[in-house]
A and B are shown apart, each in its own frame.
Chain A
Protein backbone atom coordinates (compact mmCIF):
# COMPACT_ATOMS: atom_id res chain seq x y z
CA UNK A 1 0.00 0.00 0.00
CA UNK A 2 1.47 3.35 -0.90
CA UNK A 3 2.26 5.21 2.27
CA UNK A 4 1.76 8.70 0.96
CA UNK A 5 -0.68 9.17 -1.86
CA UNK A 6 -0.19 12.13 -4.17
CA UNK A 7 -1.80 15.31 -2.97
CA UNK A 8 -5.45 15.61 -3.83
CA UNK A 9 -6.12 18.53 -6.15
CA UNK A 10 -7.36 20.63 -3.23
CA UNK A 11 -6.79 24.38 -3.55
CA UNK A 12 -3.68 25.61 -1.78
CA UNK A 13 -2.93 28.80 0.08
CA UNK A 14 0.39 30.25 1.07
CA UNK A 15 0.75 31.85 4.50
CA UNK A 16 1.24 35.58 4.01
CA UNK A 17 3.74 35.70 6.87
CA UNK A 18 5.90 32.61 6.34
CA UNK A 19 5.03 31.49 2.79
CA UNK A 20 4.21 27.91 3.80
CA UNK A 21 1.88 26.16 1.37
CA UNK A 22 -1.10 24.49 2.95
CA UNK A 23 -4.54 23.23 2.00
CA UNK A 24 -7.30 25.78 1.73
CA UNK A 25 -9.70 23.96 4.02
CA UNK A 26 -13.36 24.93 4.27
CA UNK A 27 -14.02 27.02 7.37
CA UNK A 28 -17.11 26.61 9.54
CA UNK A 29 -18.96 29.85 10.36
CA UNK A 30 -17.35 31.64 13.27
CA UNK A 31 -14.08 29.77 12.90
CA UNK A 32 -10.61 31.05 12.13
CA UNK A 33 -7.87 29.20 10.28
CA UNK A 34 -4.28 29.81 11.30
CA UNK A 35 -1.01 28.86 9.65
CA UNK A 36 0.24 25.48 10.91
CA UNK A 37 3.82 26.76 11.08
CA UNK A 38 3.79 30.35 12.28
CA UNK A 39 0.25 30.74 13.62
CA UNK A 40 -0.64 33.75 11.50
CA UNK A 41 -4.33 34.14 10.80
CA UNK A 42 -5.00 32.86 7.29
CA UNK A 43 -8.74 33.28 6.95
CA UNK A 44 -11.91 33.71 8.97
CA UNK A 45 -15.50 32.93 8.29
CA UNK A 46 -17.56 35.41 10.30
CA UNK A 47 -21.22 34.39 10.33
CA UNK A 48 -23.55 36.45 8.16
CA UNK A 49 -20.59 38.53 7.08
CA UNK A 50 -21.99 40.57 4.23
CA UNK A 51 -25.14 41.76 6.01
CA UNK A 52 -23.40 42.50 9.28
CA UNK A 53 -20.51 44.34 7.67
CA UNK A 54 -22.96 46.47 5.69
CA UNK A 55 -25.08 47.25 8.74
CA UNK A 56 -22.08 48.21 10.86
CA UNK A 57 -20.44 50.24 8.11
CA UNK A 58 -23.62 52.20 7.38
CA UNK A 59 -23.97 52.94 11.10
CA UNK A 60 -20.33 53.97 11.20
CA UNK A 61 -20.81 56.31 8.25
CA UNK A 62 -23.63 58.13 10.06
CA UNK A 63 -21.59 58.37 13.25
CA UNK A 64 -18.66 59.65 11.21
CA UNK A 65 -20.75 62.58 9.99
CA UNK A 66 -21.75 63.40 13.58
CA UNK A 67 -18.18 63.01 14.81
CA UNK A 68 -16.99 65.56 12.29
CA UNK A 69 -19.88 68.02 12.24
CA UNK A 70 -20.01 68.73 15.98
CA UNK A 71 -17.44 70.00 18.48
CA UNK A 72 -15.32 67.35 20.19
CA UNK A 73 -14.44 69.19 23.37
CA UNK A 74 -15.39 72.54 24.89
CA UNK A 75 -13.36 74.41 27.48
CA UNK A 76 -14.54 77.16 29.81
CA UNK A 77 -11.93 79.32 31.45
CA UNK A 78 -12.81 82.30 33.61
CA UNK A 79 -15.96 83.09 31.72
CA UNK A 80 -14.48 82.54 28.30
CA UNK A 81 -15.52 79.56 26.24
CA UNK A 82 -13.91 77.74 23.34
CA UNK A 83 -14.83 74.57 21.51
CA UNK A 84 -13.22 72.72 18.68
CA UNK A 85 -14.17 70.35 15.88
CA UNK A 86 -11.65 67.93 14.45
CA UNK A 87 -11.34 69.78 11.18
CA UNK A 88 -10.95 73.14 12.91
CA UNK A 89 -8.09 71.64 14.93
CA UNK A 90 -6.44 70.34 11.76
CA UNK A 91 -6.85 73.70 10.03
CA UNK A 92 -5.43 75.49 13.04
CA UNK A 93 -2.27 73.37 12.94
CA UNK A 94 -1.89 74.16 9.26
CA UNK A 95 -2.10 77.89 9.86
CA UNK A 96 0.44 77.97 12.68
CA UNK A 97 3.08 76.45 10.39
CA UNK A 98 2.74 72.79 11.32
CA UNK A 99 1.65 71.66 7.87
CA UNK A 100 3.25 68.19 7.99
CA UNK A 101 1.66 67.41 11.36
CA UNK A 102 -1.65 68.86 10.23
CA UNK A 103 -1.61 66.67 7.12
CA UNK A 104 -0.72 63.61 9.19
CA UNK A 105 -3.64 64.17 11.56
CA UNK A 106 -6.04 64.90 8.71
CA UNK A 107 -5.05 61.76 6.85
CA UNK A 108 -5.01 59.35 9.81
CA UNK A 109 -8.02 60.60 11.76
CA UNK A 110 -10.29 61.91 9.01
CA UNK A 111 -9.49 61.03 5.41
CA UNK A 112 -8.44 57.39 5.57
CA UNK A 113 -11.19 56.22 7.94
CA UNK A 114 -13.68 57.92 5.61
CA UNK A 115 -12.15 56.39 2.47
CA UNK A 116 -12.21 52.96 4.06
CA UNK A 117 -15.90 53.20 4.91
CA UNK A 118 -16.83 54.59 1.51
CA UNK A 119 -14.87 51.98 -0.37
CA UNK A 120 -16.36 49.13 1.67
CA UNK A 121 -19.86 50.45 0.96
CA UNK A 122 -19.10 50.96 -2.71
CA UNK A 123 -18.00 47.35 -3.06
CA UNK A 124 -20.44 45.62 -0.71
CA UNK A 125 -23.69 47.36 -1.61
CA UNK A 126 -23.67 46.16 -5.24
CA UNK A 127 -22.64 42.73 -3.99
CA UNK A 128 -25.59 42.64 -1.59
CA UNK A 129 -27.89 43.61 -4.44
CA UNK A 130 -26.66 40.57 -6.31
CA UNK A 131 -24.37 42.34 -8.72
CA UNK A 132 -20.86 41.05 -9.09
CA UNK A 133 -18.51 43.79 -10.05
CA UNK A 134 -15.07 42.27 -10.52
CA UNK A 135 -13.86 45.56 -11.88
CA UNK A 136 -14.10 46.95 -8.36
CA UNK A 137 -11.52 44.50 -7.07
CA UNK A 138 -8.43 46.53 -8.00
CA UNK A 139 -10.22 49.39 -6.31
CA UNK A 140 -10.56 47.35 -3.16
CA UNK A 141 -6.82 46.94 -3.05
CA UNK A 142 -6.76 50.58 -2.07
CA UNK A 143 -8.92 49.87 0.97
CA UNK A 144 -6.46 47.32 2.22
CA UNK A 145 -3.43 49.53 1.66
CA UNK A 146 -5.12 52.42 3.48
CA UNK A 147 -6.15 50.29 6.44
CA UNK A 148 -3.01 50.52 8.63
CA UNK A 149 -3.14 54.30 8.41
CA UNK A 150 -6.59 54.80 9.89
CA UNK A 151 -5.98 55.53 13.57
CA UNK A 152 -9.26 56.70 15.02
CA UNK A 153 -8.88 54.55 18.12
CA UNK A 154 -5.58 56.24 18.89
CA UNK A 155 -7.28 59.57 18.34
CA UNK A 156 -9.89 58.64 20.95
CA UNK A 157 -7.17 57.91 23.49
CA UNK A 158 -5.59 61.24 22.52
CA UNK A 159 -8.87 62.96 23.34
CA UNK A 160 -9.00 61.27 26.73
CA UNK A 161 -5.46 62.35 27.56
CA UNK A 162 -6.30 65.89 26.46
CA UNK A 163 -9.36 65.88 28.69
CA UNK A 164 -7.33 64.99 31.76
CA UNK A 165 -4.75 67.64 30.93
CA UNK A 166 -7.44 70.26 30.38
CA UNK A 167 -9.35 69.39 33.52
CA UNK A 168 -6.57 71.29 35.23
CA UNK A 169 -7.10 74.61 33.58
CA UNK A 170 -10.84 74.97 33.34
CA UNK A 171 -14.13 73.14 33.11
CA UNK A 172 -14.29 70.72 30.24
CA UNK A 173 -17.45 69.96 28.28
CA UNK A 174 -17.64 66.77 26.25
CA UNK A 175 -19.14 67.56 22.88
CA UNK A 176 -21.53 65.53 20.74
CA UNK A 177 -18.65 64.54 18.51
CA UNK A 178 -16.77 63.02 21.45
CA UNK A 179 -19.54 60.50 22.07
CA UNK A 180 -20.02 59.94 18.35
CA UNK A 181 -16.31 59.17 17.96
CA UNK A 182 -16.30 56.77 20.92
CA UNK A 183 -19.30 54.89 19.49
CA UNK A 184 -17.82 55.01 16.01
CA UNK A 185 -14.72 53.17 17.16
CA UNK A 186 -16.81 50.44 18.78
CA UNK A 187 -18.86 50.03 15.59
CA UNK A 188 -15.78 50.04 13.37
CA UNK A 189 -14.27 47.28 15.50
CA UNK A 190 -17.43 45.21 15.07
CA UNK A 191 -17.44 45.93 11.33
CA UNK A 192 -13.82 44.82 11.06
CA UNK A 193 -14.62 41.58 12.85
CA UNK A 194 -17.67 40.87 10.70
CA UNK A 195 -15.85 41.54 7.44
CA UNK A 196 -14.66 38.59 5.40
CA UNK A 197 -12.43 39.77 2.61
CA UNK A 198 -12.64 36.42 0.83
CA UNK A 199 -16.12 37.48 -0.27
CA UNK A 200 -14.47 40.01 -2.54
CA UNK A 201 -11.90 37.73 -4.02
CA UNK A 202 -14.58 35.17 -4.76
CA UNK A 203 -16.33 37.80 -6.88
CA UNK A 204 -13.76 37.37 -9.58
CA UNK A 205 -14.51 33.67 -9.89
CA UNK A 206 -18.26 33.41 -10.53
CA UNK A 207 -17.99 29.63 -10.77
CA UNK A 208 -16.69 29.52 -7.21
CA UNK A 209 -13.41 28.06 -8.32
Chain B
Protein backbone atom coordinates (compact mmCIF):
# COMPACT_ATOMS: atom_id res chain seq x y z
CA UNK B 1 0.00 0.00 0.00
CA UNK B 2 1.22 3.46 -0.85
CA UNK B 3 -1.00 6.55 -0.54
CA UNK B 4 1.51 8.84 -2.20
CA UNK B 5 0.15 11.16 -4.90
CA UNK B 6 2.61 12.67 -7.34
CA UNK B 7 1.41 16.26 -7.55
CA UNK B 8 -0.92 18.83 -6.03
CA UNK B 9 -2.88 18.95 -9.30
CA UNK B 10 -3.44 15.20 -9.18
CA UNK B 11 -4.35 15.43 -5.48
CA UNK B 12 -7.28 17.79 -6.15
CA UNK B 13 -8.36 16.20 -9.44
CA UNK B 14 -11.35 14.49 -7.83
CA UNK B 15 -12.90 17.71 -6.56
CA UNK B 16 -15.98 18.59 -8.59
CA UNK B 17 -18.45 21.47 -8.88
CA UNK B 18 -20.93 21.71 -6.00
CA UNK B 19 -18.92 19.68 -3.50
CA UNK B 20 -18.50 20.46 0.19
CA UNK B 21 -14.82 20.91 0.99
CA UNK B 22 -13.17 21.08 4.38
CA UNK B 23 -9.95 23.08 4.30
CA UNK B 24 -7.63 22.77 7.28
CA UNK B 25 -5.86 25.60 9.04
CA UNK B 26 -6.48 28.44 11.47
CA UNK B 27 -5.71 31.60 9.59
CA UNK B 28 -2.49 30.69 7.80
CA UNK B 29 -1.31 28.22 10.43
CA UNK B 30 -1.69 24.71 9.06
CA UNK B 31 -3.34 25.97 5.87
CA UNK B 32 -2.74 23.81 2.76
CA UNK B 33 -1.95 26.75 0.48
CA UNK B 34 -0.47 24.69 -2.37
CA UNK B 35 -3.50 22.37 -2.52
CA UNK B 36 -5.86 25.38 -2.46
CA UNK B 37 -3.96 27.00 -5.31
CA UNK B 38 -4.03 23.74 -7.27
CA UNK B 39 -7.80 23.72 -6.78
CA UNK B 40 -7.98 27.28 -8.14
CA UNK B 41 -6.00 26.12 -11.17
CA UNK B 42 -8.52 23.33 -11.66
CA UNK B 43 -11.32 25.92 -11.50
CA UNK B 44 -14.34 24.24 -9.86
CA UNK B 45 -17.43 26.24 -8.82
CA UNK B 46 -20.33 26.30 -6.34
CA UNK B 47 -18.28 24.91 -3.51
CA UNK B 48 -19.32 24.94 0.12
CA UNK B 49 -16.13 25.56 2.07
CA UNK B 50 -15.66 24.72 5.74
CA UNK B 51 -12.76 26.50 7.45
CA UNK B 52 -12.37 28.49 10.66
CA UNK B 53 -11.97 31.70 8.66
CA UNK B 54 -12.94 32.99 5.24
CA UNK B 55 -9.64 33.89 3.68
CA UNK B 56 -7.10 36.66 4.00
CA UNK B 57 -5.56 38.93 1.38
CA UNK B 58 -5.59 37.67 -2.20
CA UNK B 59 -4.32 34.12 -1.70
CA UNK B 60 -5.61 30.79 -0.40
CA UNK B 61 -9.34 30.72 0.39
CA UNK B 62 -9.59 34.46 -0.35
CA UNK B 63 -8.30 33.77 -3.86
CA UNK B 64 -10.89 30.97 -4.23
CA UNK B 65 -13.58 33.50 -3.31
CA UNK B 66 -12.09 36.06 -5.71
CA UNK B 67 -12.26 33.40 -8.42
CA UNK B 68 -15.98 32.92 -7.77
CA UNK B 69 -15.57 29.31 -6.68
CA UNK B 70 -17.31 29.53 -3.31
CA UNK B 71 -21.09 29.49 -2.91
CA UNK B 72 -21.13 29.20 0.87
CA UNK B 73 -18.69 29.53 3.79
CA UNK B 74 -19.18 27.65 7.03
CA UNK B 75 -16.83 29.27 9.53
CA UNK B 76 -16.49 30.93 12.94
CA UNK B 77 -14.55 34.07 12.10
CA UNK B 78 -14.81 35.51 8.58
CA UNK B 79 -12.46 38.35 9.40
CA UNK B 80 -8.71 38.75 8.96
CA UNK B 81 -6.08 41.43 8.50
CA UNK B 82 -7.35 41.82 4.90
CA UNK B 83 -10.86 40.34 4.63
CA UNK B 84 -11.92 42.14 1.43
CA UNK B 85 -12.50 39.03 -0.67
CA UNK B 86 -15.19 37.61 1.61
CA UNK B 87 -16.55 40.93 2.89
CA UNK B 88 -17.21 42.40 -0.56
CA UNK B 89 -19.03 39.31 -1.82
CA UNK B 90 -20.96 38.84 1.43
CA UNK B 91 -22.18 42.43 1.51
CA UNK B 92 -23.12 42.12 -2.17
CA UNK B 93 -25.19 39.02 -1.34
CA UNK B 94 -23.02 36.82 -3.55
CA UNK B 95 -21.85 34.37 -0.91
CA UNK B 96 -23.72 32.59 1.83
CA UNK B 97 -22.43 32.43 5.41
CA UNK B 98 -23.18 29.87 8.11
CA UNK B 99 -21.56 31.31 11.22
CA UNK B 100 -20.65 28.69 13.82
CA UNK B 101 -18.98 29.22 17.21
CA UNK B 102 -15.43 27.94 16.97
CA UNK B 103 -15.70 25.12 19.49
CA UNK B 104 -19.03 24.05 18.04
CA UNK B 105 -17.46 24.05 14.57
CA UNK B 106 -14.65 21.80 15.80
CA UNK B 107 -17.04 19.45 17.57
CA UNK B 108 -19.46 19.30 14.62
CA UNK B 109 -16.56 18.21 12.42
CA UNK B 110 -15.36 15.72 15.02
CA UNK B 111 -18.90 14.36 15.32
CA UNK B 112 -19.07 14.00 11.54
CA UNK B 113 -15.91 11.97 11.61
CA UNK B 114 -17.01 9.90 14.60
CA UNK B 115 -20.45 8.96 13.26
CA UNK B 116 -22.38 11.03 15.80
CA UNK B 117 -25.22 12.86 14.00
CA UNK B 118 -25.89 15.43 16.72
CA UNK B 119 -24.80 16.48 20.19
CA UNK B 120 -25.71 19.04 22.84
CA UNK B 121 -23.54 21.97 23.88
CA UNK B 122 -24.09 24.94 26.20
CA UNK B 123 -22.41 27.13 23.58
CA UNK B 124 -24.73 29.71 22.00
CA UNK B 125 -27.68 28.95 24.27
CA UNK B 126 -29.84 32.07 24.49
CA UNK B 127 -28.10 33.73 21.53
CA UNK B 128 -29.14 34.29 17.93
CA UNK B 129 -26.81 31.51 16.80
CA UNK B 130 -29.11 29.00 18.54
CA UNK B 131 -32.20 30.20 16.66
CA UNK B 132 -34.21 27.32 15.28
CA UNK B 133 -32.11 24.64 16.98
CA UNK B 134 -33.60 22.16 19.48
CA UNK B 135 -32.93 22.99 23.14
CA UNK B 136 -32.82 20.42 25.92
CA UNK B 137 -32.24 20.58 29.66
CA UNK B 138 -29.75 18.27 31.33
CA UNK B 139 -29.15 18.42 35.08
CA UNK B 140 -30.82 21.83 35.27
CA UNK B 141 -28.85 23.51 32.50
CA UNK B 142 -29.86 24.33 28.94
CA UNK B 143 -28.07 22.99 25.91
CA UNK B 144 -28.33 23.51 22.17
CA UNK B 145 -28.49 20.61 19.73
CA UNK B 146 -25.88 20.84 17.00
CA UNK B 147 -25.53 18.53 14.01
CA UNK B 148 -22.50 16.86 12.56
CA UNK B 149 -20.59 18.31 9.63
CA UNK B 150 -19.24 16.12 6.88
CA UNK B 151 -17.60 16.84 3.56
CA UNK B 152 -16.96 15.25 0.22
CA UNK B 153 -13.28 16.11 0.39
CA UNK B 154 -10.90 17.45 3.05
CA UNK B 155 -7.64 19.09 2.06
CA UNK B 156 -5.28 19.50 4.97
CA UNK B 157 -1.69 20.31 5.78
CA UNK B 158 0.52 18.15 7.94
CA UNK B 159 4.24 17.92 8.55
CA UNK B 160 5.28 14.31 8.01
CA UNK B 161 3.40 11.47 6.40
CA UNK B 162 4.36 7.89 5.89
CA UNK B 163 3.17 5.94 2.87
CA UNK B 164 0.27 4.55 4.96
CA UNK B 165 -1.04 8.11 5.50
CA UNK B 166 -0.09 8.40 9.17
CA UNK B 167 0.46 12.09 9.92
CA UNK B 168 2.30 14.39 12.30
CA UNK B 169 1.85 18.15 12.38
CA UNK B 170 3.94 21.25 12.93
CA UNK B 171 3.16 23.00 16.23
CA UNK B 172 -0.20 24.81 16.28
CA UNK B 173 -0.56 24.03 12.58
CA UNK B 174 -2.48 21.01 13.86
CA UNK B 175 -5.71 22.90 14.76
CA UNK B 176 -8.67 21.68 12.65
CA UNK B 177 -6.62 19.39 10.41
CA UNK B 178 -6.93 16.10 12.35
CA UNK B 179 -10.69 16.61 12.74
CA UNK B 180 -11.24 17.31 9.07
CA UNK B 181 -9.23 14.22 8.11
CA UNK B 182 -11.90 12.18 9.90
CA UNK B 183 -14.96 13.93 8.54
CA UNK B 184 -14.58 13.76 4.76
CA UNK B 185 -15.31 11.00 2.29
CA UNK B 186 -11.87 11.61 0.79
CA UNK B 187 -8.96 13.26 2.63
CA UNK B 188 -5.83 14.56 0.96
CA UNK B 189 -2.90 15.85 3.02
CA UNK B 190 -0.05 17.96 1.77
CA UNK B 191 3.05 17.30 3.84
CA UNK B 192 6.60 18.60 3.93
CA UNK B 193 8.02 15.10 3.65
CA UNK B 194 6.80 11.56 2.97
CA UNK B 195 8.73 8.82 4.72
CA UNK B 196 8.49 5.06 4.32
CA UNK B 197 6.19 2.97 6.53
CA UNK B 198 7.91 2.74 9.89
CA UNK B 199 9.50 6.15 9.44
CA UNK B 200 7.16 7.70 12.02
CA UNK B 201 7.21 6.34 15.56
CA UNK B 202 3.67 5.00 16.19
CA UNK B 203 3.75 6.89 19.52
CA UNK B 204 4.07 10.13 17.56
CA UNK B 205 1.30 9.60 15.03
CA UNK B 206 -1.38 12.28 15.48
CA UNK B 207 -3.70 11.31 12.62
CA UNK B 208 -3.77 7.57 11.94
CA UNK B 209 -3.65 6.69 8.27
CA UNK B 210 -7.16 5.20 8.26
CA UNK B 211 -8.46 8.77 8.05
CA UNK B 212 -6.22 9.72 5.12
CA UNK B 213 -6.66 8.71 1.47
CA UNK B 214 -3.75 10.43 -0.20
CA UNK B 215 -0.57 12.32 0.68
CA UNK B 216 1.36 14.66 -1.55
CA UNK B 217 4.82 15.95 -0.74
CA UNK B 218 5.21 19.74 -0.90
CA UNK B 219 8.69 20.47 0.49
CA UNK B 220 9.10 23.96 2.00
CA UNK B 221 5.40 24.90 1.86
CA UNK B 222 4.47 28.56 1.64
CA UNK B 223 3.08 30.30 4.72
CA UNK B 224 0.00 32.45 4.19
CA UNK B 225 1.24 35.15 6.55
CA UNK B 226 4.47 35.60 4.60
CA UNK B 227 2.61 35.75 1.28
CA UNK B 228 0.25 38.37 2.68
CA UNK B 229 3.11 40.47 4.03
CA UNK B 230 4.71 40.27 0.58
CA UNK B 231 1.44 41.44 -1.01
CA UNK B 232 1.12 38.31 -3.15
CA UNK B 233 -2.10 37.73 -5.11
CA UNK B 234 -2.88 34.29 -6.56
CA UNK B 235 -4.88 34.45 -9.74
Are A and B bound to each other?
no
